[in-house]
């Protein structure tokens, strides 16, 4: 069986399974109103929410439906966000990609670097054929990350999210294996 919770290394990042010690940093990330501005759920207000998120990550791996990996900057070991492949369907060879990064790291290419490493692993190890991602239409920076990774915008989900009374649309992006340009192969440990 394919290991569904890898540790991946890139030039600047380490992607690794979440641990209990990540709860405080994860809560800080998801309680940041700027980070959560275009998210499909409100910012967290209760620290135990981070513990439930980490537990859900383990349950997803145990069920074999996906992985959500913490992203640390290798230079200082600081947790800067996470990247995921979820809703893995081995029959259809498909998954959905998501990511969330601390606003202090925006514009530095970390989401693209982490996403590229995880996609490479997904296409190689999970033998994915298609990866889908969605982003709020107002989140142009996230759309750019997906386009840099080779995703193609396929459509718009009109008024698909209502968060704190605010209605928003989402763009749907898709990446097909044969269109994947690849990224430098990350070194894998564990």
Residue 41 predicted with pLDDT over 70: yes
The whole domain housing 127 covers 7-189
Residue 36 predicted with pLDDT over 60: yes
Could you read off the pLDDT of 8-22 as tens digits, one per residue? Answer: 999 999 999 999 999
Q: In what order do the strands lie in the sheet with 79-89?
A: 152-163, 166-176, 130-136, 94-101, 79-89, 67-73, 13-17, 7-9, 187-189
**Residue 3: pLDDT band by 50, 70, 90 thresholds?**
low
Considering the chain, what percentage of its residues have pLDDT values greater than 70?
A: 94
pLDDT of 4 reads: 74
Considering the chain, what percentage of its residues have pLDDT values greater than 90?
A: 86
pLDDT of 185 reads: 43
Does residue 121 lie in a domain region?
Answer: yes
Does residue 161 lie in a domain region?
Answer: yes
Contact 2, 121 (CB under 8 A): no
Identify the residue with better confidence: 78 or 163. Answer: 78
As for how many domains the chain has, the answer is 1
Pairing outcome for strands 166-176 and 130-136: antiparallel
Does residue 1 lie in a domain region?
Answer: no
CA distances from 145 to 65, 102, 113, 128 (A): 24, 15, 9, 20
Short-list 174, 130, 118, CA closest to 4:
118
Q: What is the Cα–Cα distance from 160 to 168, expressed in whole angstroms?
A: 6
Centre a 10 Å sphere on the Cβ of residue 188 and count the other Cβ atoms it contains.
16
Does residue 2 lie in a domain region?
Answer: no
- CATH value at residue 96: 3.40.630.30
Centre a 10 Å sphere on the Cβ of residue 165 and count the other Cβ atoms it contains.
5
Does residue 168 lie in a domain region?
Answer: yes
Could you read off the pLDDT of 97-127 as tens digits, one per residue? Answer: 999 999 999 999 999 999 999 999 999 999 9
**Residue 186: pLDDT band by 50, 70, 90 thresholds?**
very low
Could you read off the pLDDT of 52-87 as tens digits, one per residue? Answer: 999 999 999 999 899 999 999 999 999 999 999 999
Mean pLDDT of the chain: 92
Element at 54 (helix H, strand E): helix 48-63
Does residue 91 lie in a domain region?
Answer: yes
Contact 133, 173 (CB under 8 A): yes
Q: Tell me, what DSSP letter sits at residue 129?
A: S
**Residue 2: pLDDT band by 50, 70, 90 thresholds?**
low
């Amino acid at each position: 069986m394919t290991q569904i919770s890898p540790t991946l290394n890139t030039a600047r990042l380490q992607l690794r399974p979440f641990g209990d010690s990540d709860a405080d940093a994860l809560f800080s990330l998801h309680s940041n109103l700027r980070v959560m501005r275009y998210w499909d759920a409100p910012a967290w207000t209760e620290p135990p929410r981070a513990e439930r998120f980490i537990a859900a990550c383990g349950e997803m791996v145990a069920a074999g439906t996906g992985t959500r990996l913490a992203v640390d900057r290798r230079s200082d070991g600081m947790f800067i966000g996470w990247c995921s492949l979820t809703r893995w369907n081995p029959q259809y060879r498909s998954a959905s990609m998501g990511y969330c990064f601390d606003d202090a790291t925006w514009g530095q290419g970390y989401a693209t670097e982490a996403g590229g490493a995880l996609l490479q692993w997904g296409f190689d190890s999970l033998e994915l054929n298609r990866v889908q991602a969605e982003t709020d239409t107002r989140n142009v920076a996230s759309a750019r990350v997906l386009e840099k990774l080779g995703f193609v915008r396929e459509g718009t989900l009109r008024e698909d999210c209502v968060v704190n009374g605010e209605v928003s649309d989402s763009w749907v992006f898709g990446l097909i294996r044969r269109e994947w340009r690849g990224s430098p192969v990350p070194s894998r440990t564990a």
